[in-house]
Amino acid sequence: MYGIAKRFTFEAAHILDEAYSKECTVVHGHSYKVEFHLSVDNHELNEENYMVLDFKTLKEIVDPIIARFDHALIISDERYLKEYVDVTFKQKLVILPNSPTAEVLAKYFFDAVKSDARVQHTLKKVKVWETEKAFAVYSE
């Protein structure tokens, strides 16, 4: 099996619903790292260029998705707009259907990237790092 991975970074704040600690239920930020892991079986390696996927192609797919989140406030419920958000955050706001945990973000990024035909069969997992020591993983 052949595999590649590429890491992307972005800065964002979020508010978690029902978090285990009070610190996580208020606006707080992270320097996120998102790793995309792709692989193919030996016989599936592209014989024209001997690549799973060109890193440049992966960047073209992922950059617009990550840009939506960079320096944004990520929330799951519009009620936070009244409680926490001022006019400056409304300029860059991402509302997800679930609490924006690292696990939820990993699945979101996986699904968003996997929808691109160039990686549909090669994307295997996504890791979202919230800190240097903690990450969540999503794979099918």
Q: What is the pTM of this model?
A: 0.90
**Domains of the chain: residue spans and CATH:** 2-139 (3.30.479.10)
**Helices 55-69 and 102-114 meet at what angle, rounded to 10?**
130
Whether 70 contacts 12, CB under 8 Å: yes
Whether 66 contacts 10, CB under 8 Å: yes
Q: Quick: pLDDT tens for 18-70.
A: 766 777 777 889 999 999 999 999 988 888 899 999 999 999 999 999 999 99
Dump strand ranges (E) for 1-140.
Answer: 2-14, 28-40, 72-75, 93-95, 123-129, 135-139
